[in-house]
Structure 1
Amino acid sequence: MSVEKINTLVVGGGQAGIAASEHLSNLGISHIVLEKDRIAERWRTARWDTLVANGPAWHDRFPNLEFNVSGPDDFPNKDEVADYFEAYVKMINAPLRTGVEVIKAAAVAGGNGYHIETTNGTIHAQNIVAATGPFQKPVFPKLIPEDPDLLQIHSNAYKNPAVLPDGGVLVVGAGSSGAQIAEELMTSGRDVYLSVGPHDRPPRAYRNRDFVWWLGVLGKWDMQTPGPGTEHVTIAVSGANGGRTVDFRRFAAGGMKLVGMTGSVEDGVLHFADDLAKNIANGDKNYLSVLDEADAYVDRNGLDLPLEPSARESWPDPDCLTNPIRTLNLKDAGIKTVIWATGYVQEYDWLDADVFDTQGKPQHKRGVTDQQGIYFLGLPWQSRRGSSFIWGVWHDAKFVADHIKTQQVYLDYKPS
C-alpha cells in the first residue's frame, strides 16, 4: 500500500485547522487538513437551533474575511458561522479533506516523522498539528440513575424546547450554554431549575460598547493564564436575543428557580451545595469590576461615551436566593428532563506521543510541545484569554506555523 508523504498533517477542520492551513500556505509549507465529518461540523449539529456567536461579527472572525449576512454589531447564528468557515476554506484554497478520520498517529520507529493511519490510507508527516479544539468529549456526570421517565442529555444534544418531553427541566451548569438554554426553556413556558456554579458574569455591553471591546482596550484578552483557583470558572455571556447581559436574578423574576451546584442524589432526591449566594455574589463582583474599570478608562482617556447608571441597578434577590433550595425530589417537582451543560474534556486517543500530563491534557507552550513535530491548536488559554475565540485561534495558528517554518529552515540547512 502506498504511503502519502507530506510535511505537516493538520487534524481537524474547524476554526483551528482552517486557521492553521492559511498560515502554513502563506509560509509555503506543504500540508493537508483532515476532518472526520464536515467543515465546522460541531457548529451545525452539536449546538441548539437558536445558538448565535458569543461575540459580534466585527470581532469574532478571521482578519481577512467579514461575515456577509450579519451586520458588524450582530451576532451570527450557528449556520452562518459554519457557512463562514466553508467560504474561508474556498477563499484560501485549503487542502482540506472531509470524511477522513485519523485512527492512529505515532513516531516512526528508528526514523523521523510520524506514521499516521487514517480511514482513507496511510500518511507520513514530519509534523502533526492536533487542531481538534476544546469541544471533543462531552462531560456527562453519571450522577442520576437511569430512569425511563427521565430524559438526561448533554447540552450538545439539546435542540429546542419542543423536542423535550412535557414537564419541568433541570439545567445543570450556568455558563454560556446553560444560561442560554435555561432562559430559552423558561421563555417557552417550561418550569425550569438552574444549577449555578462559580462563574464570571461580564456585561454584554456598557456605555455603548460591547464587552469584547472593553476586554480589548483594558488588555484583558492578553491575560496569559487564568487567575489562581479560577481555572474551572465558566463565563456567563450571551449574544442571544440581540445580546443581553446574563442576569440570574432576572431569570428568577421570570419564574426560574435557582439552586447551587448539584451534588449527590439519594432515592430520587437531588442535593445541592449551599453555595448559590456565594456564586451569585462572586458573579456580581466580576460584573461590577468590569464597570469600574471601564469607567476609569473613560475618565483617564477623556472619551465621550454616554453614562449608563442603569447598568448598576439590580433586580431584587429572589426567594430561591434568600431561602435556598437544598434538596429536590425530581418526580414531585415534575422534572422530566435533565440537561447537563457541564462542558467537555479533550480527547486524543489517536495520538501516541509523550506530550500529555497524568490527566490526559496536552503539555505545551503556546501549542508547541517538547516532542519534535507535535503541536496543538484551539486549546483554551493556549496563549491568552482570547485563544478560545475565532480571532484568537487565528493568531495562535500563526505562532504555531511560524515555529514549524523555523524548524524546517534549520532542518533544510546544508553547509557550503
Structure 2
Amino acid sequence: MMGEKTLIDTLVVGAGQAGIAMSEHLSRNAVPHLVLERDRIAECWRSGRWDSLMANGPAWHDRFPDLEFQDFDPDGFPGKDRVVAYLEAYARKCAAPVRTGVEVRALRRNEGRPGFAIVTTDGLCEANNVVVATGAFQRPKIPPIAPKGGALTQIHSVDYRNPSKLPEGAVLVVGSGSSGVQIAEELNESGRKVYLSVGPHDRPPRGYRNRDYCWWLGVFGEWDASTPAPGREHVTIAVSGTRGGHTIDFRRLALEGVTLVGRTESFRAGRATFRPDLAENIARGDRHYLAVLDRADAYVERNGLDLPPEPEARRIYPEPECVTHPILELDLARAGISSIIWATGYVSDYSWVQVDTFDANGRPRHQRGVASEPGLYFLGLPYQSRRGSSFIWGVWHDAKYVADQIVIRRQYLAYRDASQRKAL
C-alpha cells in the first residue's frame, strides 16, 4: 500500500514495452523506481488487439536488443500472445519493479518544493521524477460522422476480436491502415461481405529481393528520420504480418471479394456517402510502392549486393469494377450491412497529467522525451526521437536517453556546496 508520505525517486506510469524498457535502464543506472500499471503487463497487447493479430515487423527486428523471441523463427511475425509472453519475460529478466492493478488518477507538481504528488487507486505518493510511459494508443478515435442510434453495431478496431463476435450480415470497415486492411481480410476470408473504405495511404512491399521492408528502411536510414517529411505527418501505412507476412494490394483484395469504396464522407437517413477519390488513393499507394522498389534496386546496384531480382513484384492487378465504377452512395440496409468497424486510430489522453507541459493541441512539449516541466518525462511517443520510436527496439533506445537525463538531473539535485560539505 502507498500512503501520503510515500516517496518514490522515479515513478514510471505504464508497464507496456515503454515502461519495461524504462525500468531496465533505470536499474542499470541504479535509480530507485517503481512501475505502476493499472491492469497487467502489456495490457494493450492482451485486450486491445484482435485474436489473429500478428506483429507488423519480423521477430529479428521488433524486439529488445538483448533478448530474442525464444523458439520462434526470426523471420516470422509473432502473434499478440507471443508478444505478451516476450514482454513478461523481459520484465522478469530485468527484475522490473512492476505493481499491477494500480491506476494513476492524477499527477500534480508540488508547490514550493521539488517533485510531484500522485493520486492513485492505492493511495497517495510523491516522486522526484515521473516518466509517462502510457504510449500513443490511449483513447480510440471515432469520427463525428458516425451514425447515431439505429440498429447498426458500431465498434472501434480496439474492440474487434474475430468474425464470430459480430452479428450476421455485411460489414463496413472504415480505415485502410494496417488494422483496417487486416480486419477486412479476415472478415472476407470468413465468408462475410465486406466493404472497405480506402483513404490516402502508403503501401510498402512486405518484402523485396529476400529482405523485409524493415530491413530496407534500416539500410535507407529511414528509421533514424527525426521528423516525418513535410505533408506526411499523418500518412496511413498499409502493411501486414499475417499469412507469414504479405504485401497489401487493394486490387487483389477486390478480386478476392472485398468491395472498395472511397473515404467515408457522411451518414444520412440510413445511407453512407463516399468521396470520389478511390482511384487516386489506390494510385497514390502504387506510386509509393513502386518508389520503394526503385530505391531498393538502386541500392542493390550501387552496393553490389547479391540479392536476386524480383520482377514479379512489379505486377499490377487489373482495375476491379469497384474502382472503375466507384460506389459513391450506399443504402446500408439494402447492402445488408449490420456492422461498422472504425479502424480510425487513437488520440492521446493526458487529462490526468495536471501539469503545464502541453501545447494548444494537447501534445506534450518535450525534447526527446524530456518535458518542459523539470522532472517530467514521456516515453513511447511517435517520433519521440526518430521514426522507430514507436517500435519495441526504438522505445528501448529512447528509454536509454531518458534514463541518462534522469541520472544527470539527480546528480545536480544531489550537489552540495562547500559549506554544506564542511557541515557534514
* TM-score normalised by length of structure 1: 0.98
- Give yes or no for contact 2:38–2:104 (8 Å, CA) kept in 1: yes
**Match for residue 171 of structure 2 among 169, 172, 176:** 169
Query: How many aligned positions are there?
Result: 416
- Residues 1:128 and 2:130 aligned together: yes
Structure 2 distance, partners of 1:137, 1:116, is 21
Structure 2 distance, partners of 1:259, 1:191, is 13
Say which is worse superposed, 331-340 or 266-275, in terms of deviation: 266-275
Structure 2 distance, partners of 1:153, 1:183, is 17
**Match for residue 219 of structure 1 among 213, 218, 221:** 221
- Residues 1:229 and 2:234 aligned together: no
- Give yes or no for contact 1:175–1:237 (8 Å, CA) kept in 2: yes
SS at structure 2 position matched to 1:215? helix
Task: Show the counterpart of 1:149.
Answer: 151
**Match for residue 85 of structure 2 among 83, 86, 93:** 83
Tell me the amino acid that sits aligned with residue 129 of structure 1: V
Say which is worse superposed, 125-134 or 66-75, in terms of deviation: 66-75
Tell me the amino acid that sits aligned with residue 120 of structure 1: D
Structure 2 distance, partners of 1:235, 1:145, is 26
Unaligned segments of structure 2, at least 5 residues: 419-424
- Give yes or no for contact 2:147–2:268 (8 Å, CA) kept in 1: no
**Match for residue 391 of structure 2 among 372, 389, 404:** 389
Say which is worse superposed, 301-310 or 146-155, in terms of deviation: 146-155
SS at structure 2 position matched to 1:7? strand
Structure 1 distance, partners of 2:20, 2:210, is 33
1:333-348 → structure 2 map (5 Å cutoff)? 333-348=335-350
Cα distance per residue 1:234-269 (max 9 Å; x no partner) = 111100010000110100011111111111111111
Q: How many percent of aligned residue pairs carry the same amino acid?
A: 61
**Match for residue 278 of structure 1 among 266, 277, 280:** 280
- Give yes or no for contact 1:24–1:31 (8 Å, CA) kept in 2: yes
- Give yes or no for contact 1:3–1:121 (8 Å, CA) kept in 2: no
Cα distance per residue 1:335-388 (max 9 Å; x no partner) = 011000000001011111111112211121111111101111001111111111
Tell me the amino acid that sits aligned with residue 405 of structure 1: V
Task: Show the counterpart of 1:15.
Answer: 17
Structure 1 distance, partners of 2:290, 2:16, is 35
**Match for residue 331 of structure 1 among 330, 333, 344:** 333
1:144-293 → structure 2 map (5 Å cutoff)? 144-293=146-295
SS at structure 1 position matched to 2:373? coil
Structure 2 distance, partners of 1:369, 1:93, is 27
SS at structure 1 position matched to 2:85? helix
Tell me the amino acid that sits aligned with residue 234 of structure 1: T
Task: Show the counterpart of 1:74.
Answer: 76
**Match for residue 310 of structure 2 among 308, 311, 316:** 308
Structure 2 distance, partners of 1:345, 1:69, is 36
Unaligned segments of structure 1, at least 5 residues: none
1:373-388 → structure 2 map (5 Å cutoff)? 373-388=375-390
- 4+ long deviations beyond 6 Å: none
Query: What's the Cα RMSD here?
Result: 1.1
* TM-score normalised by length of structure 2: 0.96
SS at structure 1 position matched to 2:143? coil
Tell me the amino acid that sits aligned with residue 102 of structure 1: V
Deviation at 1:2, TM superposition (A): 4.1
